[in-house]
Amino acid sequence: MFERLTNSTLETARLRIAELFDAHAEWFYTLSDGHTQALRRNELDINVTQSRLILSCWTDKGTRSWRIRGWNWTGERLELQASRRMGAERPVIELIPRASASAIAATVRAARQVRCHHLAQLASDLLSGARIERASLSPGMRRGQPGRYARILLRLKHQRIAVTGSVAASKPSDVDEFLSSALLWFGRTSERARAPYVQQLCLLVEKDMLKPLSVRVALLRTNLRNAIIVCELNQEWTELSQVVCPDLEELWKKRLTRFRPVTPLATSESARAIIAEAPEAIDVLQARHGETLRYFGLPFARVRRLMDSEVVWFGLEGSRRRLLDEASAHEWAVLLGDLHEHRSALASDHRNALYRTAGEAWLESLLRRDISKLDPGLIVAPLHAQFRTARGGRLGVRPIDLLALRRDGRLVVIELKVSEDREHVLQGADYWQRVEAHRRRGHIWRARLFGERRISSESPLVYLVAPTLRVHPSFQTLARLISPTVEMYRFDINEDWRSGVRVMRRMRVN
């Protein structure tokens, strides 16, 4: 049974959980959505910040920080009721010591292997005459961890076909991870010298991943696109049907919703007063229902207008927001003090959650202040951060980090990473496609996103930005697979970018 946390029990819970972490060298980390990963002891950190118990851990998606609301130690596993993104995500985290984790990993691996063989049989039945030569799992993120994807080889008389599909729970937003993994595996497998050669790649996906996958396949080089077969897997996993993917020209025929015209909004008096506390660090994002204040990219306050007055709520991600008034003035001062101390390039404790969390948002906030540090040819304002090309926040449609305009009128899609991310290239290509579709229809010009400035008739540029030593090893391999129609550039910036962004290298990658 979960023990709910109160101010009086926070430190006791922290000490007990820290003791458990110290007692075991490795833990098996599982979210309630099915995501699993093995973590070492030094990749887990538990501390009390702003009267909240915060769990920080290093995952395959980078650093994650969770507010812990309740906990339970069963003797075999540690269960944590967690939340993040202002409570939008409320998973239950299970942390299991390695001894038990190995048994669970073996069970998961066996279940996924059964699914792998099932997919192999369906693919063999679809491609009549094909014989199953191999059906195994992809490598896990760590040694001993089961892989998420099937790795199947089918043999025909004159060729082999590589087949892959997810054998774990997946969602549309996982499409870049899936396709990146599939393309890298296909590249390695097709290099084998023994005939018959691997000449085709078959991608097996469920219905909700079909549309985003088809778009990304259309953005690949022609010879690679022609070698890919996409098959839809029905909900019961009993049947496969081949799907014809659209080519790039067909993507421009899709109907799109226009953008609303941009109307400049004045910064409220309350927001100006907050910005004055640390003008070099605090910026404001305008929204239809008010303003969000961020400290080097980390949201910490909201300004809303109710009736004829402005009200301010404050609180970090995953915490309970408080109304700023006389009663909460001390907590407000403590929050600003913690942000000033820990969310700074000069911070001494680099393990603190305020320093580690939202790194990409921190980099974005620095570039928003002067985007010309990245490219002197870019206009400084207007500059659109977290730009959405579709309303409603549908699954698989993520906002673009930065949308900018060059002085010559060309649009620029900027995607930022501060840690190694294999999906960097495909994300940038997908954002290019969405912006190009709107540019061709004149939506960006009609909405006056960049005022009266001319929008060039040339397609957008893509800038993929990451610190020099944080570029994924497969970056260049994946970039070469993207159609040269997508003009893509790699920007390597300095490792100590928090102290100021400097471009160390720029190069065309495809």
Residue 391: what pLDDT? Answer: 62
Q: Would you say residue 259 lies in a domain?
A: no
Of 191-205, 378-392, 477-491, which range is least confident? 378-392
pLDDT digits (tens, 9 = 90+) for 52-86: 899 988 776 667 888 998 999 988 889 999 988 76
Q: Would you say residue 219 lies in a domain?
A: yes
69 and 183: one domain? no
**Domain that residue 171 falls in:** 103-251
Q: Would you say residue 352 lies in a domain?
A: no
Mean pLDDT (whole number) for 116-132: 91
340 and 470: one domain? no
Provide the number of structural domains found in the chain: 4
Is the pLDDT at 88 greater than 80, yes or no? Answer: no
370 and 239: one domain? no
Residue 8: what pLDDT? Answer: 83
> Percent of the chain, pLDDT > 90?
58
Q: How many CA atoms lie within 13 A of 431 on its CB side?
A: 29
Q: Would you say residue 449 lies in a domain?
A: yes
Domain boundary among 321, 347, 373: 347
398 or 69: whose pLDDT is higher? Answer: 69
HEC profile of 343-405: CCCCCCCCCCHHHHCCHHHHHHHHHHHCHHHCCCCECCCCCEEEECCCCCCCCCCCCEEEEEE
226 and 273: one domain? no
Query: What is the band of 109 on the pLDDT scale with cuts at 50, 70, 90?
Result: confident
Rounded to whole angstroms, the Cα distance separating 415 from 471 reads 13
Query: Quick check: bond before 376 cis, omega within 30?
Result: no
Domain boundary among 36, 68, 100: 100
Residue 393: what pLDDT? Answer: 46
Is the pLDDT at 343 greater than 50, yes or no? Answer: yes
123 and 190: one domain? yes
Residue 32: what pLDDT? Answer: 67
Is the pLDDT at 259 greater than 90, yes or no? Answer: no
Query: What is the band of 388 on the pLDDT scale with cuts at 50, 70, 90?
Result: confident
Query: Quick check: bond before 196 cis, omega within 30?
Result: yes
Return the amino acid letter for 461: L
337 or 395: whose pLDDT is higher? Answer: 337
67 and 175: one domain? no
Q: Contact 262/443 with Cβ under 8 angstroms?
A: no
The overall average pLDDT reported for the chain is: 89
445 and 363: one domain? yes
Query: What is the band of 254 on the pLDDT scale with cuts at 50, 70, 90?
Result: confident
Relative to beta strand 131-139, strand 146-155 is antiparallel
Residues forming a β-bridge with 59: 62
**Residue whose C-alpha is closest to residue 371's, from 410, 408, 411, 414:** 414
Q: Contact 80/66 with Cβ under 8 angstroms?
A: yes
Is the pLDDT at 365 greater than 90, yes or no? Answer: yes
Residues 6 or more apart in contact with residue 375 via CB below 8 angstroms: 406, 412, 463, 503
Domain boundary among 282, 316, 347: 347
Mean pLDDT (whole number) for 235-260: 87
Residue 173: what pLDDT? Answer: 86
Rounded to whole angstroms, the Cα distance separating 104 from 141 reads 16
pLDDT digits (tens, 9 = 90+) for 9-30: 888 899 999 999 888 888 888 8
233 and 108: one domain? yes
Chain position carrying tokens 């490792």: 495
**Residue whose C-alpha is closest to residue 268's, from 329, 310, 233:** 310
| CATH number of residue 25's parent domain | 2.70.180
| CATH number of residue 245's parent domain | 3.40.1350.10
183 and 220: one domain? yes
Q: Would you say residue 416 lies in a domain?
A: yes
Query: What is the band of 283 on the pLDDT scale with cuts at 50, 70, 90?
Result: very high
DSSP string computed for 242-303: EEPPP-HHHHTTS--PPPPPP---PPPHHHHHHHTTSTTTEEEEEETTEEEEEETTEEEEEE
89 and 117: one domain? no
pLDDT digits (tens, 9 = 90+) for 156-167: 888 899 999 999
Q: List the 228-233 sheet strands across, edge first.
A: 131-139, 146-155, 160-166, 198-206, 228-233, 240-243
144 or 22: whose pLDDT is higher? Answer: 22
Q: Would you say residue 92 lies in a domain?
A: yes
Q: Would you say residue 135 lies in a domain?
A: yes
Rounded to whole angstroms, the Cα distance separating 109 from 137 reads 8
155 and 279: one domain? no
Residue 288: what pLDDT? Answer: 67
pLDDT digits (tens, 9 = 90+) for 191-210: 876 788 899 999 999 999 99
Of 170-174, 179-183, 422-426, which range is least confident? 170-174
Query: What is the band of 101 on the pLDDT scale with cuts at 50, 70, 90?
Result: low
Q: Would you say residue 154 lies in a domain?
A: yes
Is the pLDDT at 394 greater than 50, yes or no? Answer: no
Residue 100: what pLDDT? Answer: 59
Q: Determine whether 483 is exposed, middle or buried from the number of CB atoms within 10 Å of its CB (0-12, 13-18, 19+).
A: middle
Provide φ and ψ at 106, rounded to 5°.
Answer: -65, -40
Residue 437: what pLDDT? Answer: 93
Relative to beta strand 198-206, strand 228-233 is parallel
242 and 115: one domain? yes
